């Protein structure tokens, strides 16, 4: 069942995503990209004049992690860290650009895209922001997930046209080929099952979710009627943010029950990114500078908010919408 929203009654949509190259598609698919870049005005304005920021994350200890905005071909960049008052604490150099920052209970992870067709992962302490470990993998790094001390990373090897899953435990790195001619656009762990949405390179508007049992290594595939851009979960269901590859725009939500394989599809305004916030999805539109509240219970839009919030209203409570 497909539910259509009234486009005239909802917000304007963003420009179509360019999908001509791997990098363009990959960037449009980034599953955990940090949001609310305009929150950078919490820091000292003199510092802003010297550095351009790309993404940011506010961790549970109140520290702000900003990634440097890079130019094409830039081989290294910086991650800048500030305290809750906006004071500069320290910076870390990384290979390539820090595409995505992830927060876990015991650490911060930065997943970086090198210009050498490699991905670099950096692990930092949340207590003192020190670098703890680094790893590098081959291919275009798409997404990562952490369970205990083990990392699960999806990547695409352009040279061999293979989607792969890296498993990193300590300094041991294992690589498993998932298949050919598709992008592994995300990774999610739920109930000891690894869910990986895949987007075929040559079959627009189709896709599937690979379900890998971490106990038995059994693999099951569930077909879906969209090219999955992003995977989330709520109330025992998987939620896929779908991309229309033929038009280069994302405009669908699919609720998938992994047990019954039943799906329910809803059309939404095009979104820059989507986040879980309690019983809602927050749908972000950078072009119109709006946050759309989508209710899981009602399966519809219930509120539209303009952003950025003015500087005087900046607070940890508001900024945590980024998580």
Give the residue from 76, 72, 178 showing the smallest Cα distance to 122: 76
The C-alpha angle 209, 211, 216, rounded to 5 degrees, equals 165
C-alpha of 62 from chain center: 21
Domain spanning 32-138, CATH class: mainly beta
Cβ(139)–Cβ(123) below 8 Å: no
Stretch among 15-29, 104-118, 239-253 having the lowest mean pLDDT: 15-29
Mean of pLDDT over the chain = 79
Tokens for 42, please give them: 């919490």
Separation of alpha carbons 22 and 156, rounded Å: 9
CATH number, span 1-22+141-279:
2.120.10.80
* DSSP symbol at 46: H
Residues in the chain: 323
Cβ(166)–Cβ(111) below 8 Å: no
- For the segment 10-42, what is each residue's pLDDT rounded down to a tens digit? 333 223 322 333 444 444 434 334 344 445 455
β-strand pairing of 273-277 with 280-285: antiparallel
What does 307-320 look like in DSSP terms, one character per residue? -SPPGGG--HHHHG
* DSSP symbol at 10: S
Coil/strand/helix, residue 294 = strand
State the burial class of residue 197 (Cβ atoms within 10 Å of its Cβ: 0-12, 13-18, 19+): buried
C-alpha of 226 from chain center: 18
Stretch among 57-66, 79-88, 158-167, 311-320 having the lowest mean pLDDT: 311-320
Which residues, 6 or more positions from 216, have their beta carbon under 8 angstroms from its beta carbon? none
* Statement: residue 248 has pLDDT above 80: no
Neighbouring C-beta atoms of residue 292, cutoff 10 Å: 22
Query: Higher pLDDT residue, 201 or 128?
Result: 128
Residue that the structure tokens 């949001």 belong to: 35
Separation of alpha carbons 70 and 78, rounded Å: 9
Output the CA–CA distances (angstroms, integers) from residue 77 to 33, 52, 70, 92, 123, in the order listed: 17, 11, 7, 8, 16
- For the segment 42-86, what is each residue's pLDDT rounded down to a tens digit? 565 656 555 677 777 889 999 989 888 777 777 888 999 988 888
Separation of alpha carbons 39 and 42, rounded Å: 6
Per-domain boundaries in the chain: 1-22+141-279, 32-138
β-strand pairing of 182-184 with 193-200: antiparallel
Tokens for 140, please give them: 């275009």
Return contacts of 111-115, CB within 8 angstroms, 24+ apart: 111/141, 111/143, 111/144, 111/153, 112/77, 112/141, 113/140, 113/141, 114/75, 115/73, 115/74, 115/75
Percent of the chain surpassing pLDDT 70: 76
Q: Averaging pLDDT over each range in 54-58, 81-85, 160-164, 278-282, which range is the top one?
A: 160-164
Alpha helices (H) in the chain, listed in sequence order: 22-29, 45-50, 316-319
Give the model's pLDDT for residue 302. 93
Sign of CA dihedral 241, 245, 246, 247: positive
Separation of alpha carbons 299 and 296, rounded Å: 5
* Statement: residue 245 has pLDDT above 70: no
């Amino acid at each position: 069942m497909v539910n259509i929203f009234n486009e005239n009654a909802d917000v304007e949509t963003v420009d179509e995503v360019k999908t001509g190259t791997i990098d363009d598609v990959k960037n449009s698919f980034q599953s955990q990209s940090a949001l609310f870049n305009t929150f950078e005005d919490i820091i000292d304005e003199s510092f802003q004049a010297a550095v351009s920021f790309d993404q940011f994350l506010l961790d549970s200890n109140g520290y702000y992690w900003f990634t440097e905005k890079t130019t094409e071909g830039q081989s290294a960049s910086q991650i800048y860290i500030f305290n809750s008052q906006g004071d500069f604490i320290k910076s870390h150099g990384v290979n390539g650009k820090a595409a995505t920052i992830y927060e876990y209970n015991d650490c911060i992870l930065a997943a970086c895209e090198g210009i050498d067709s490699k991905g670099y992962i950096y692990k930092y302490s949340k207590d003192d922001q020190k670098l703890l470990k680094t790893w590098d993998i081959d291919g275009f790094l798409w997404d990562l997930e952490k369970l205990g001390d083990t990392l699960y990373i999806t990547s695409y090897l352009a040279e061999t046209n293979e989607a792969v899953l890296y498993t990193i435990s300590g300094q041991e790195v294992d690589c498993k080929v998932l298949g050919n001619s598709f992008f592994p656009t995300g990774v999610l762990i739920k109930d000891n099952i690894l869910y990986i949405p895949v987007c075929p390179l040559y079959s627009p508007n189709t896709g599937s979710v690979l379900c890998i049992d971490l106990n038995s290594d059994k693999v099951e595939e569930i077909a879906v009627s969209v090219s999955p851009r992003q995977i989330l979960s709520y109330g025992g269901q998987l939620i896929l943010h779908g991309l229309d590859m033929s038009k280069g725009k994302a405009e669908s939500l699919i609720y998938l029950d992994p047990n019954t394989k039943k799906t329910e599809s809803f059309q939404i305004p095009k979104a820059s990114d989507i986040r879980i916030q309690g019983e809602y999805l927050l749908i972000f539109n950078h072009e119109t500078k709006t946050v759309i509240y989508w209710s899981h219970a009602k399966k519809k839009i219930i509120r539209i908010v303009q952003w950025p919030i003015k500087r005087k209203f900046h607070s940890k409570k508001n900024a945590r919408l980024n998580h």
